């Protein structure tokens, strides 16, 4: 993998702007998640919002992906393709969205319930979100990537859920996927050292049952192998000497 890119103050400011647009796009999607809405409708509104903001939907055309947002429902983990699917009461929807602003990328995700939802779904979503914050509590200059990974895994497993191995967080900047990889599992103290002004996406993908996944025939959609629920939570963060700054900052943290 290519080497880690440390960002200049100018680049960080552009990433902050990209991040705010991306987080607001996540809110657009979150507010639409409800029984009766199709995933294509959500995609259309998110795309419209990003373009109206003067940014580019990063995912659209990325590796051939046909939409501006990944919408992964229930046992779908990531990379769900928006389409005719109509959300039903109690469905859980993982929204993953990216926006490029003046050449810099914001990347964030969150899982939301259509309607009321089960207690177990709510707990899965809450644990997934909190595992991100447990992870980034370790995300400061001088620590290692593995310190984030270990904190996420420990918290998730303590709560009886699984962390996906096959897909990981990543550096982010002028490219959506830069070095280093940021796994959600593994030993503390390992991996690349975190350095001030690195920007990374930390994104726990958490499963109710097995952490094993499969890719569907559409070539994109990743599902849990056992058909149980999965949730996702992600923000792009800036490494500092103290607490990290969340660049995809918005009302849905």
Contact positions toward Mg ion, by CB under 5 A?
107, 201, 203
Instruction: Name the minimum Å distance from CB 120 to Mg ion.
Output: 26
Provide the H-helix boundaries in 90-158.
Answer: 119-136, 145-158
Give CA–CA dist 182/164, Å, rounded: 12
Instruction: Name the minimum Å distance from CB 234 to Mg ion.
Output: 5
Torsion angle of C-alpha atoms 38, 112, 159, 200, degrees rounded to 10: 100
Choice between 11 and 178, CB closer to Mg ion? 178
Instruction: Name the minimum Å distance from CB 220 to Mg ion.
Output: 14
Instruction: Name the minimum Å distance from CB 198 to Mg ion.
Output: 15
Instruction: Name the minimum Å distance from CB 172 to Mg ion.
Output: 7
Choice between 114 and 246, CB closer to Mg ion? 246
HSE-CB at 24 with a 13 A cutoff on CA atoms is 16
Phi, psi of 200 (to 5 degrees): -135, 155
Choice between 55 and 201, CB closer to Mg ion? 201
Choice between 114 and 206, CB closer to Mg ion? 206
Choice between 47 and 79, CB closer to Mg ion? 79
Provide the H-helix boundaries in the chain.
Answer: 9-32, 39-52, 119-136, 145-158
Torsion angle of C-alpha atoms 110, 130, 156, 210, degrees rounded to 10: -20
């Amino acid at each position: 993998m290519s080497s880690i890119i440390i960002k200049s103050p100018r680049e960080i400011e552009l990433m902050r702007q990209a991040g705010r647009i991306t987080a607001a796009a996540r809110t657009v999607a979150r507010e639409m998640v409800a029984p009766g809405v199709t995933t294509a409708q959500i995609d259309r509104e998110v795309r419209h919002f990003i373009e109206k903001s003067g940014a580019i939907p990063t995912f659209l055309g990325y590796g051939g992906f046909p939409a501006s947002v990944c919408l992964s429902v229930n046992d779908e983990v990531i990379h769900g393709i928006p389409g005719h699917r109509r959300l039903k009461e109690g469905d859980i929807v993982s929204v993953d969205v990216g926006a490029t602003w003046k050449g810099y990328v914001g990347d964030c995700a969150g899982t939301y319930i259509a309607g009321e939802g089960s207690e177990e779904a709510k707990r899965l979503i809450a644990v997934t979100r909190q595992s991100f914050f447990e992870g980034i509590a370790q995300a400061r200059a001088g620590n290692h990537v593995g310190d984030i990974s270990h904190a996420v895994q420990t918290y998730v497993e303590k709560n009886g859920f699984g962390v996906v191995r096959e897909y990981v967080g990543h550096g982010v900047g002028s490219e959506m996927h830069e070095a280093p990889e940021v796994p959600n599992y593994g030993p503390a103290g390992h991996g690349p050292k975190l350095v001030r002004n690195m920007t990374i996406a930390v994104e726990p993908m958490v499963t109710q049952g097995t952490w094993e996944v499969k890719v569907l025939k559409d070539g994109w959609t990743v599902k849990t192998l056992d058909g149980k629920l999965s949730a996702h939570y992600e923000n792009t963060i800036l490494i500092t000497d103290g607490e990290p700054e969340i660049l995809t900052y918005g009302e849905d943290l």
